[in-house]
A and B are shown apart, each in its own frame.
Chain A
Amino acid sequence: MINMKDVYKKYANGVVAANGLNVKIAPGEFVYVVGPSGAGKSTFIKMMYREEKPTSGEIYVDGTNLVTLKNREVPFVRRKIGVVFQDFKLLPKLTVYENVAFAMEVIEAPSDSIRDRVTEVLDLVGLKSKARMLPTELSGGEQQRVSIARSIVNRPKVVIADEPTGNLDPETSWGIMNVFKDINEQLGTTIVMATHNKDIVNRIRHRVIAIEGGLIVRDEAEGVYGYEI
């Protein structure tokens, strides 16, 4: 599903955030990406949906080479990948329903299928009753659910999440993890999640990729968090 070969990323300011990454993630896998702050987790994630382009190396997502991809083709790849952000990135003036529907309008889906599907995923993340509210009227956990609903509404093969529980309290975080678990188990969606949440990584066991200084220092099938903080 995702395949990185010798990926190297140097930012304009000289910081090397990826220093030769080699990774294969199979369809249906659930992968945690862990590591200290500044290790390069976000860079790793951002390169998967072309928010950042590697300086060298190859990245394939669902068969598409993201490195040679032309700028105007980028939207088409992003539509196949669901992305969940730590700061939710919801459109502030749109309602919960409209935010989720936006991702389907982008792919020019017919309006009745938008209506059915948006209702369906809002039900899945438990927000059907808040469809008409604005993001600002929701709690952090609820906003993150909207963001997840939006990421899965087009039935992507892979959902990528950068610290989706980073801004949430522990209880809410467990709720969010359950949503990811359902998506992964019931829909077979591949999930790549950068996280700082030790409890979650240790309790819901999945593959763990640990990154430090732009390098993969550990890659374990039923891994643990492995850091003290």
Chain B
Amino acid sequence: MKFRTIRRHFRESFKTLGRNGWMTFASVSAVTVTLLLVGVFVAIMLNLNKVADDLEHDVEMKVYVELAADEASTTALEDQIRETPGVAEVIYSSRDHELEQMISDFGDDLKLYEQSNPLREAFYVKAANPQQTAKVAQTIDEYPNTYEVVYGEGKVEKLFDFLNFGRTAGLVLILALLFTAMFLISNTIRITIVARKNEIGIMKLVGASNSFVRVPFVLEGIWMGILGSIIPILAVVFGYIEFYDYAEPRLRGEMIQILPPVPFLYIVSGLLFFMGIFIGIWGSFMSVRKFLKV
């Protein structure tokens, strides 16, 4: 294909957008509506995923040290825990510190224990992969000088099950939405191209090759995809910034955080933009294919 032909195709694809006024409008609207849905949904899903991550990463285990352990064996245990595969973080807490914690949690009544502290030293341990907490806990439990490992057994497993279900459901929903979107858009584009079936036939009879007919259609699809992604991108960007400004101050200091607009909105915008282009190309390509056999 010569350069002037490529130029011709670009020129032609822009002209056709205008010539087919309402058809362009219908296709662009279909893209807009679906990308708007996809955009809002992806924004919600990614944030829910973030929340799920936050919840997961809040899961930690507490390793109680045997009362009999001396300083050297406690240090040895700490090293052992640190070297355990799958351990991400170990924080030591002395007996005094444990008691302080307890007093601040349950009140000054417990201050009487300051005379003879019955508590054990402890390590707060986080697994690199929170879902491996139970397994890591089991390993640490075997170590000499470990008295007990506590991590909210049962509750944690339920939480993980719930989060995993949520993630899968979200993914399935997004895929279903994408599928519906593709269907809706390719149908709209098909309708607009069926209307041009005769034109395609004439082009072929005059000696146009398949690619000569197809390229302007596909370019047109790209422009429609881009046009259709503008409103959804703007809506998601401004909508999310609004939402973030509202929610972020209220969540300050909480365990659960929402995604900051950067780079999140770049990612979502890019996703919508390229999805628009992809849907446009795919829709035109599939629809025009049927009519090229003349």
Number of A interface residues, CB 8 Å?
Answer: 23
A108/B4 in contact, CB under 8 A: yes
A93 at the interface (CB under 8 A from B): yes
Q: A108-B4, A110-B4 are in contact. Are A78 and B206 (CB under 8 A)?
A: yes
For A85, the closest partner residue in chain B by CB is B205
The interface residues of chain A lying within 8 Å CB-to-CB of B294 are 51
A108/B208 in contact, CB under 8 A: no
CA distance A110 to B201 in the complex (A): 24
A157 at the interface (CB under 8 A from B): no
A132 at the interface (CB under 8 A from B): no
A36-44, A98-106, A206-214 - the one binding chain B: A98-106
Interface 1/0 per residue, B1-43 and A, CB below 8 Å: 1101100100000001001100000000000000000000000
Interface 1/0 per residue, A115-135 and B, CB below 8 Å: 000000000000000000000
B207/A103 in contact, CB under 8 A: yes
B199 at the interface (CB under 8 A from A): yes
Q: How large is the interface on B (under 10, 10 to 19, 20 to 34, 35 or more residues)?
A: 20 to 34
A75 in complex: contacting residue of B2, B5, B16, B204, CB < 8 Å: B204
A111 at the interface (CB under 8 A from B): yes
The interface residues of chain A lying within 8 Å CB-to-CB of B5 are 105, 108
Interface 1/0 per residue, B193-227 and A, CB below 8 Å: 00000010111111111101000000000000000
CA distance A14 to B208 in the complex (A): 31
A79 at the interface (CB under 8 A from B): yes
A150 at the interface (CB under 8 A from B): yes
Q: A51-B294, A105-B5, A108-B4 are in contact. Are A72 and B210 (CB under 8 A)?
A: yes
A150/B206 in contact, CB under 8 A: yes
A107 at the interface (CB under 8 A from B): yes
Query: Interface of chain B, helix or strand or loop or mixed?
Result: helix
A198 at the interface (CB under 8 A from B): no
CA distance A150 to B8 in the complex (A): 18
CA distance A78 to B206 in the complex (A): 7
B199/A79 in contact, CB under 8 A: no
B199/A105 in contact, CB under 8 A: no
A93/B19 in contact, CB under 8 A: yes
CA distance A92 to B197 in the complex (A): 12
A91 in complex: contacting residue of B1, B20, B199, B210, CB < 8 Å: B199
Determine how close the nearest CB of chain B comes to the CB of A97; give it in whole angstroms: 13
Determine how close the nearest CB of chain B comes to the CB of A73; give it in whole angstroms: 10
CA distance A110 to B2 in the complex (A): 10
The interface residues of chain B lying within 8 Å CB-to-CB of A89 are 201-202, 205
The interface residues of chain A lying within 8 Å CB-to-CB of B4 are 108, 110-111
B205 in complex: contacting residue of A51, A92, A108, A110, CB < 8 Å: A51
The interface residues of chain B lying within 8 Å CB-to-CB of A85 are 205
Beyond the given pairs A78-B206, A106-B207, 12 more chain A to chain B contacts, judged by CB atoms under 8 angstroms and listed by A's residue number, are A51-B205, A75-B204, A75-B208, A75-B209, A75-B212, A89-B201, A89-B202, A91-B202, A102-B203, A102-B208, A105-B5, A150-B206
Q: 24 A-B Cβ contacts within 8 A?
A: A51-B205, A72-B209, A75-B207, A75-B208, A75-B209, A75-B212, A76-B207, A78-B205, A79-B207, A85-B205, A89-B202, A90-B202, A91-B203, A92-B199, A93-B19, A93-B20, A93-B199, A102-B208, A103-B206, A103-B207, A106-B206, A106-B208, A108-B4, A110-B4
